[in-house]
Structure 1
Amino acid sequence: MEDDAAYDLIKEDLLIAEDEVIISRYLKPMIVNGDSWPDHFIVDAKLFNKNPNKVFDSESPSFVIVKPRTEACGKTDGCESGCWRIMARDKLIKSEETGKILGFKKILKFCLKRKPREYKRSWVMEEYRLTKNFNWKQDHVICKIRFMFEAEISFLLTKHFYTTSESDLGDELLPSYGYSSNTQEEDESYLVTIVTSEGNYWPSYVTNDVYCLHPVDLVDPQDPMFHDYGTCIFANGTCGETDKCDGGYWKILHPDELITGKVNGFKKVFKFYETERQRYVWEGEYVKVTWTIEEYRLSEKVKEDKVLCVIKLTRDS
């Protein structure tokens, strides 16, 4: 009973704790100092291959220690009934006192292959990990898992995407979603992101296979946030127009457009041509869509290999 009471106190602390506290008070001591895992914490290396409906209590948040955390975990793992998909990519977690980077946080959602039309709640995972400093074990992460209403998820994402930082970017996170419209100022923001994304700031989920992958391998077309804003994918270099993937190929739609301002760079637009036109679900109806990627890169030669791709879809009339 004493163990239960101690765990309840830890769980209550974690539920109301800021991201910085979860990393500095729990994750870092366990990995760096070798402290024991909190009693009753689930240790599950196969978490990303399980249906949370069969593992967790929908009325009680769960905290899971994942070890090892492999590079393949996340978007591509799953089970017969569905899989976890990234809905908010890495956000930098910094110490308010020192300003040092403590780690990263991302948010994932479990997407059912067959979701009832009136399903109002979803399983959401907040994943915390450390930086690579001092050879810390990147494969150990803490996951907070909850069964949340859509309104709760929207509030969680709002907190994740926006901060009160006064940095040049207006926030201190690596964006997952793009912007709702294209203006000169917004195009500049993508370039500034590349400029400031050095070292640990450059996301760990960089992929150099953007133009070798089908769009549905990069994003979740069922995600309403994606429909509104698109998703940012970071890459080291670009593959160009000749690479092909299963089901189609990417081709340049609009060549380099010069962007000038505080930061100078270029914007290029690609379109995905499907071998066989597929239909996708949009507001409960099957429709045809057009996939595009807006690719941003700097004019500075030293950073030409870093590009930011914003993948979007539009509904065909």
Structure 2
Amino acid sequence: MEDDDAAYDLIKHELLYSEDEVIISRYLKGMVVNGDSWPDHFIEDANVFTKNPDKVFNSERPRFVIVKPRTEACGKTDGCDSGCWRIIGRDKLIKSEETGKILGFKKILKFCLKRKPIDYKRSWVMEEYRLTNNLNWKQDHVICKIRFMFEAEISFLLSKHFYTTSESVLENELLPSYGYYLSNTQEEDEFYLDAIMTSEGNEWPSYVTNNVYCLHPLELVDLQDRMFNDYGTCIFANKTCGETDKCDGGYWKILHGDKLIKSNFGKVIGFKKVFEFYETVRQIYLCDGEEVTVTWTIQEYRLSKNVKQNKVLCVIKLTYDR
């Protein structure tokens, strides 16, 4: 019995403090692909997104991990009478440090109460891990690590999620995950160019896609994410598009060609290009229960010639046309 307890504590400790790569490759892939049995302390729960964690879990217990079948509610913000899960950290690619191969994705959600207690200091946070879309794998499970955390802990978790590398988080710049709105367009444009300039190295971090213009916008964003609806989402690519390849359901078309962005001293510091998505297969969008048409746009930013030309920052936005 003591040996079983020791093994339980060892696995729990590893899951709590291990790197994201370990959780995906050793546990999730092991169970989904290799058919390994679940550790006894994994809980199977298909409705975790529709429950108040206060009613299900003991917040005073040590941190733990949940494995559950993947459902349509997974990754969305479905909730219950007292609150709902909201995405606060969008998908991040998890790669093998040894091979560079993409292993899966991780996103972070927070349970938001409709009515916060006066002494509200901690919140439930979920880190959801899933595998890549491989036709040979049965995508029916994800791993959710659920913890009761102080706000400072949540901020630190998010900083690690969005920092440019996996090295010391104190030595790297934080890349924007959402768009940035200013009444002054010049300042807004300079903000995005500055994000490119201050990023380290010649390549973006691992959670980027070079297929921005080959994907339907619904594959790039989450409509349930209120931050996206308010500010748009930043997508990072290691190469510019050059042409608008068709994708399922439509294609991106250049709306405005390169616009010069100049500094206050008149020097060209970068370029801005705007794309609009034309749907060939009509999608139905609902806003407050009403069917509406939408306009998808991408603002593409890159620095001036010969400066980090392999870094492109794309801001994808959605406008509801009533």
The verdict on a shared fold, with TM-score over 0.5 as the criterion, is: yes
Partner deviation per Cα, 1:207-257 (whole Å, 9 max, x = no partner): 2899xx7xxx54159xxxx99xx45177986999xxxxxxxxxxxxxx847
CA contact (8 A) 2:109 2:127 kept: yes
Report the CA distance shift for 1:8/1:73 in structure 2 as closer, same or farther (over 3 A).
Answer: same
**Counterpart check, 1:296 vs 2:302:** no
CA contact (8 A) 1:66 1:140 kept: yes
SS at structure 1 position matched to 2:123: strand
Letter in 1 for 2:54: N
Work out the CA distance in 2 between the residues paired with 1:165 and 1:263. Answer: 28
Structure 1 residue 178, shift from structure 2 partner: 3.4
Pairing 1:133-172 to 2, within 5 Å after superposition: 133-164=134-165
CA contact (8 A) 1:75 1:83 kept: no
Q: Which deviates the most, 259-268 or 142-151?
A: 259-268
CA contact (8 A) 1:206 1:233 kept: no
Q: Which runs of 5+ in 1 are unaligned?
A: 241-254, 270-274, 277-292, 300-306, 313-317
Work out the CA distance in 1 between the residues paired with 2:214 and 2:150. Answer: 29
**Counterpart check, 1:4 vs 2:5:** yes
Structure 1 residue 295, shift from structure 2 partner: 3.7
Structure 1 residue 35, shift from structure 2 partner: 0.3
Work out the CA distance in 2 between the residues paired with 1:298 and 1:121. Answer: 38
The partner residue of 2:188 within 182, 185, 190 is 182
Structure 1 residue 77, shift from structure 2 partner: 1.1
**Counterpart check, 1:197 vs 2:232:** no
Provide the TM-score with structure 1 as the length reference. 0.64
Work out the CA distance in 1 between the residues paired with 2:17 and 2:77. Answer: 30
What residue is the counterpart of 2:18 in the other structure?
17
What residue is the counterpart of 1:84 in the other structure?
85
Letter in 1 for 2:27: Y
Q: Which runs of 5+ in 2 are unaligned?
A: 182-186, 197-202, 236-246, 261-267, 277-286, 289-295, 303-313
CA contact (8 A) 1:267 1:296 kept: yes
SS at structure 2 position matched to 1:133: coil
**Counterpart check, 1:219 vs 2:226:** yes
SS at structure 2 position matched to 1:182: helix
Work out the CA distance in 2 between the residues paired with 1:73 and 1:258. Answer: 39
Report the CA distance shift for 1:136/1:183 in structure 2 as closer, same or farther (over 3 A).
Answer: same
Work out the CA distance in 2 between the residues paired with 1:11 and 1:57. Answer: 16
CA contact (8 A) 2:93 2:106 kept: yes
What residue is the counterpart of 1:102 in the other structure?
103
CA contact (8 A) 1:89 1:174 kept: no
Report the CA distance shift for 1:208/1:38 in structure 2 as closer, same or farther (over 3 A).
Answer: closer
Q: Which deviates the most, 230-239 or 1-10?
A: 230-239
SS at structure 2 position matched to 1:73: coil
**Counterpart check, 1:266 vs 2:267:** no
Report the CA distance shift for 1:259/1:158 in structure 2 as closer, same or farther (over 3 A).
Answer: farther
Report the CA distance shift for 1:39/1:49 in structure 2 as closer, same or farther (over 3 A).
Answer: same
Larger Rg: 2
Work out the CA distance in 2 between the residues paired with 1:259 and 1:4. Answer: 64
Provide the TM-score with structure 2 as the length reference. 0.63
Structure 1 residue 102, shift from structure 2 partner: 0.8
Q: Which deviates the most, 116-125 or 33-42?
A: 116-125
Equivalenced residue count is: 251
What residue is the counterpart of 2:218 in the other structure?
207
What residue is the counterpart of 1:309 in the other structure?
316
Q: Name the Cα RMSD after superposition.
A: 4.5
CA contact (8 A) 1:49 1:79 kept: yes
SS at structure 1 position matched to 2:218: coil
Partner deviation per Cα, 1:89-129 (whole Å, 9 max, x = no partner): 00011111111111110000001111124411110000111
Work out the CA distance in 2 between the residues paired with 1:141 and 1:262. Answer: 44
CA contact (8 A) 1:258 1:265 kept: yes
CA contact (8 A) 1:27 1:142 kept: yes
Work out the CA distance in 1 between the residues paired with 2:251 and 2:219. Answer: 7
SS at structure 1 position matched to 2:23: helix
Structure 1 residue 73, shift from structure 2 partner: 2.3
Q: Which deviates the most, 176-185 or 4-13?
A: 176-185
Work out the CA distance in 1 between the residues paired with 2:269 and 2:137. Answer: 37
**Counterpart check, 1:26 vs 2:33:** no
Structure 1 residue 136, shift from structure 2 partner: 1.9
Work out the CA distance in 2 between the residues paired with 1:20 and 1:99. Answer: 11
What residue is the counterpart of 2:112 in the other structure?
111
Q: Which deviates the most, 177-186 or 33-42?
A: 177-186
